[in-house]
């Protein structure tokens, strides 16, 4: 029999990794809560319909990547593949439109997609996300982009690049698709056969082709950014001006495609070479003004982003992790001293000290070695006498104290951080 392993595409967070994840969570909380975003946590699974309607029935996520199951009562449930549709569901369900608008929310949660696993791409992963619901302004989009830039930069993600575009409205996009398909049909002779085969299915894919002739042809293809309606173009211009004022550099990426259907107007992605070419997107988002109506809610403009926790950690060089300092290691000198030692370690913890008790039945020599490995400042050697030997590890000095004087002595000797 072989040992059972975690499912493909999942990973364990071991204590050595937990500290950096906790640091990232605290970092995100600081930045987002200082900007007035409140934390939200939605359930791990939702009605399947939320995602087929919200994310879009034709997307890869809904078509191929969802973990969907029957709840035993004939209702279809799905492990959340993303957080925006659930947050909108919660906004509607809790009548948040009655709160002062916009409602600004953030989350750090686990998500599930049945993708082919590779470095930076998992089947269970975590995202930090931010959503602003109830505001149509360009300032909202710019604020969100700047907050994500700040989160990534100040956590140390190497060389983040911002790719920016606007998708206009669904009507503009439909017209543009037709125009692009007509362009592609007119140039079939100078396109690769796989691009020609997909013209009517998904003409936008032509921009992703690696074939040199196709790429040359596509340079002359019409771009969606040049077809925006005047109000959408003006909105985009305002977002750009605010990013310019904030001196945040971006690259216009007229063919930026996001994997979710709910976007309108502003869209963006942050990439980092530190992640490798294949999976370089650290985070992305945009405006999704039509989503609330897709979910049978009233028309409500909204905008947001999400960034992958594992990708942020991969993209940021590791700072040396400072181990939790151990103030006191309580060693047990004789077999019958366990109870007294236990009492002492409890007293130390109540006093706010970081304290550990010998739990492995080591010899006294082995216990001192273990205390040294942990970097303990003091070792209290507890026997059956009423006195306890307190050893200061740095100096090696050892002094006997009455049991009830040990903790006050340590507290007096150093100021706690």
Q: Which is nearer to ligand HAM, 128 or 340 (CB)?
A: 128
| Residue 100 Cα distances to 96, 97, 135, angstroms | 8, 8, 11
Q: Which of 268, 304, 314, 367 binds ligand HAM (CB under 6 A)?
A: 304
Q: Would you count residue 134 as binding ligand HAM (CB under 6 A)?
A: no
Q: Which of 174, 167, 303, 176 is nearest to 232 (CA)?
A: 167
Cis peptide leading into residue 102 (ω within 30°): yes
Question: Residue 308 region, left (φ>0) first, then alpha (ψ -120 to 50), else beta?
Answer: beta
Q: How far is the CB of 271 from ligand HAM (least distance, A)?
A: 9
Among 124-132, 180-188, 249-257, 361-369, the segment contacting ligand HAM (CB under 6 A): 124-132
> In the complex, which residue's CB is closest to ligand HAM?
308
Least separation, in Å, of the C-beta of 290 and ligand HAM? 12
Phi-psi region at 24: left, alpha or beta (left = phi > 0; alpha = psi -120 to 50): alpha
Burial of 23 (0-12, 13-18, 19+ CB in 10 A): middle
Taking alpha carbons only, the member of 258, 14, 9, 5 closest to residue 112 is: 9
Phi and psi of 307, rounded to 5°? Answer: -130, 140
Q: Which of 110, 255, 281, 356 binds ligand HAM (CB under 6 A)?
A: 281
Among the residue ranges 39-47, 180-188, 220-228, 284-292, the one whose residues contact ligand HAM (CB under 6 A): 284-292
Residues 6+ positions from 245 with CB-CB distance below 8 Å: none
CB 151 within 8 A of CB 127: no
Stretch that binds ligand HAM, among 189-197, 281-289, 314-322, 335-343 (CB under 6 A): 281-289
State which residue, 129 or 203, has the beta carbon closest to ligand HAM.
129
Angle between helical axes of 406-413 and 338-350 (0-180°, round to 10): 40
Q: Which of 125, 176 has the CB closer to ligand HAM? A: 125
Strand order, beta sheet including 355-357: 355-357, 328-332, 378-382, 387-392, 398-402
Contact with ligand HAM (CB under 6 A) among 56, 284, 290, 315: 284
- Draw the binding track, 34-73, toward ligand HAM (x: CB under 6 A; -: no contact): ----------------------------------------
Contact region with ligand HAM (CB under 6 A), list: 45-53, 71-79, 303-311, 347-355: 303-311
Instruction: Name which position in 156, 170, 259, 383 contacts ligand HAM (CB under 6 A).
Output: 259
Instruction: Work out how close the CB of 172 gets to ligand HAM at its nearest, in angstroms, rounded to a whole number.
Output: 19
Nearest distance from residue 268's CB to ligand HAM, in Å?
10
Min dist. Cβ of residue 47 to ligand HAM (A): 17
Binding-site member from 225, 308, 313, 388 for ligand HAM (CB under 6 A): 308
Tell me the three state secondary structure of residue 157: coil
288 binds ligand HAM (CB under 6 A): yes
- 160 lies in the binding site for ligand HAM (CB under 6 A): no
Question: CB of 309 within 8 A of CB of 127?
Answer: yes
Residue 83 found at the interface with ligand HAM (CB under 6 A): yes
For the segment 96-115, give every residue that binds ligand HAM (CB under 6 A): 113, 115
What is the distance between the alpha carbons of residues 142 and 242, in angstroms, rounded to a whole number?
6
Select 157 or 330, whichever has its Cβ closest to ligand HAM: 157
| Cα 84–chain centre separation | 13
Least Å from the CB of residue 117 to ligand HAM: 8
Strand runs labelled E in 124-187: 124-133, 160-166
Nearest-angstrom CA–CA distance, 30 and 353: 26
Nearest distance in Å: CB 297, ligand HAM:
16
Compute how many other C-beta atoms are within 10 angstroms of the C-beta atom of residue 86. 25
Nearer to ligand HAM, 271 or 370 (CB): 271
Smallest distance, ligand HAM to C-beta of residue 42, A: 12
Binding site for ligand HAM (CB under 6 A): 82-84, 113, 115, 121-122, 125, 127, 129, 131, 259-260, 281-286, 288, 304-308, 310-311
């Amino acid at each position: 029999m072989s040992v059972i392993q975690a499912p493909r595409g999942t990973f364990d967070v071991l204590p050595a990794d937990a500290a950096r994840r906790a640091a990232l969570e605290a970092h995100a909380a600081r930045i987002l809560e200082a900007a007035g975003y409140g934390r939200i946590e939605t359930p791990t699974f939702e009605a399947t319909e939320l995602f087929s309607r919200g994310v879009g029935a034709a997307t890869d996520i809904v078509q191929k990547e969802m973990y969907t199951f029957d709840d035993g009562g004939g209702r279809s449930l799905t492990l959340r593949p993303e957080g925006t549709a659930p947050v909108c569901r919660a906004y509607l369900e809790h009548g948040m439109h009655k709160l002062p608008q916009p409602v600004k929310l953030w989350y750090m949660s686990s998500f599930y997609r049945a993708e082919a696993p590779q470095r930076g791409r998992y089947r269970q992963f975590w995202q930090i996300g931010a959503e602003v619901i109830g505001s149509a302004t360009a300032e909202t989009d710019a604020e969100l982009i700047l907050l994500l830039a700040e989160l990534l930069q100040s956590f140390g993600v190497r060389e983040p690049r911002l790719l920016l575009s606007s998708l206009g409205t669904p009507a503009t996009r439909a017209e543009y698709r037709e125009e692009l398909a007509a362009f592609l049909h007119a140039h079939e002779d100078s396109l690769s056969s796989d691009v020609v085969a997909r013209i009517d299915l998904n003409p936008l894919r032509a921009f992703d082709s690696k074939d040199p002739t196709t790429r040359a042809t596509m340079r002359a293809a019409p771009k969606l950014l040049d077809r925006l309606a005047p109000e959408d173009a003006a909105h985009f211009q305002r977002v750009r001006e605010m990013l310019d004022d904030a001196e945040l550099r971006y690259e216009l990426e007229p063919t930026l495609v996001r994997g979710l259907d709910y976007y309108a107007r502003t869209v963006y992605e942050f990439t980092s070479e530190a992640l490798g070419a294949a999976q370089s997107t650290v985070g992305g988002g945009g405006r999704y003004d039509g989503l609330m109506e897709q979910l049978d809610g009233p028309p409500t403009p909204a905008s947001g982003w999400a960034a992958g926790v594992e990708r942020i950690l991969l993209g940021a060089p590791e700072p040396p992790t400072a181990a939790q300092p151990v103030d006191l290691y309580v060693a047990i000198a004789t077999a019958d001293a366990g109870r007294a030692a236990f009492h002492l370690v409890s007293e130390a913890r109540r006093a706010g000290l970081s304290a550990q008790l010998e739990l492995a039945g080591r010899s006294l020599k082995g216990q001192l070695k273990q205390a040294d490995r942990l970097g303990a400042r003091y070792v209290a050697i507890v026997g059956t006498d009423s006195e306890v030997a307190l050893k200061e590890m740095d100096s090696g000095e050892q002094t006997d104290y009455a049991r009830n004087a040990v903790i006050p002595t340590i507290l007096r000797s150093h100021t706690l951080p």
